[in-house]
């Protein structure tokens, strides 16, 4: 049985085509062998090698999150926290301002902080997406007593952006 990858790009109004295109190319070339489903949000790219839906019901989202072997997420705190609460390996691909994917680079800061604490893996360079996803299949997110601290830090960080 193929592993399952759930991709979530969130509900931000700017598209995140860069991630979806990279995944489609990896699946098309056979570099990644998995069943992939993406919540594609406002993205305009239509993948050829995996299924995608712009927005999911809570039931659909929960089902895909629960059944995923790996979660590939934009740097949105909600998606990441949900995956971590389920003990899922998370690959964070932050939306970046320079690509018109967000208004600033706060997702990069969050991705770096999570990687430093061994909570998630993050993609620094989209050309390395396949190797980071492959690493994620054997990655176990760090757990322990700092979960509440991490949630508070994420919450405080998000509040500081307002």
Q: The domain spanning residue 36 has which CATH number?
A: 3.40.50.2000
Instruction: Tell me how far apart the alpha carbons of residues 43 and 12 are, in angstroms, rounded to a whole number.
Output: 9
10, 72 Cβ separation under 8 angstroms = no
Does 97 score more than 80 pLDDT?
A: no
Instruction: Tell me how far apart the alpha carbons of residues 141 and 147 are, in angstroms, rounded to a whole number.
Output: 11
Q: Where is average pLDDT lowest: 89-103, 116-130, 142-156?
A: 142-156
Domain total of the chain: 1
Range of the domain at 39: 4-160
Q: Which residues are CB-neighbours of 98 under 8 A, at least 6 positions away? A: none
Count of C-beta atoms within a 10 Å radius of residue 155 = 12
1: confidence class by pLDDT, cuts 50, 70, 90? confident
Nearest in space to 119 (alpha carbons), one of 158, 94, 96, 151 = 151
41, 11 Cβ separation under 8 angstroms = yes
Determine the 3-state secondary structure of 31 from DSSP.
Answer: coil
Mean pLDDT for 115-134 is: 95
The pLDDT of residue 144: 60
CA angle 87, 56, 17 (to 5 degrees): 85
Mean pLDDT for 46-50 is: 98
Does 69 score more than 90 pLDDT?
A: yes
- Of 43 and 1, the one with more pLDDT: 43
The pLDDT of residue 147: 63
Can you read off the two tokens belonging to residue 32? 């990644």
Can you read off the two tokens belonging to residue 148? 């509440």
Q: What is the pTM of this model?
A: 0.86
Instruction: Tell me how far apart the alpha carbons of residues 68 and 6 are, in angstroms, rounded to a whole number.
Output: 6
The pLDDT of residue 86: 93
Q: Which residues are CB-neighbours of 71 under 8 A, at least 6 positions away? A: 5, 6, 7, 8, 65, 79, 83, 88, 89, 90, 91
Number of H helices and E strands in the chain, helices first, is 6, 6
């Amino acid at each position: 049985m193929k592993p399952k990858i759930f991709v979530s790009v969130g509900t931000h109004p700017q598209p995140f085509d860069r991630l979806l295109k990279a995944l489609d190319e990896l699946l098309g070339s056979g570099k990644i062998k998995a069943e992939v489903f993406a919540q594609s949000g406002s993205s305009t790219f239509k993948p050829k090698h995996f299924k995608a839906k712009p927005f999911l019901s809570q039931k659909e989202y929960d089902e895909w999150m629960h059944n995923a072997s790996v979660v590939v997420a934009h740097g949105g705190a909600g998606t990441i926290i949900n995956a971590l609460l389920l003990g899922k390996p998370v690959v964070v691909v932050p939306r970046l301002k320079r690509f018109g994917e967000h208004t600033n680079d706060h997702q990069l800061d969050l991705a770096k902080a999570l990687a430093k604490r061994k909570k998630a893996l993050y993609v620094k360079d989209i050309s390395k997406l396949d190797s980071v996803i492959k690493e994620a299949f054997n990655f176990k997110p760090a757990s322990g007593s700092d979960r509440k601290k991490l949630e508070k830090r994420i919450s405080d960080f998000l509040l500081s952006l307002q």
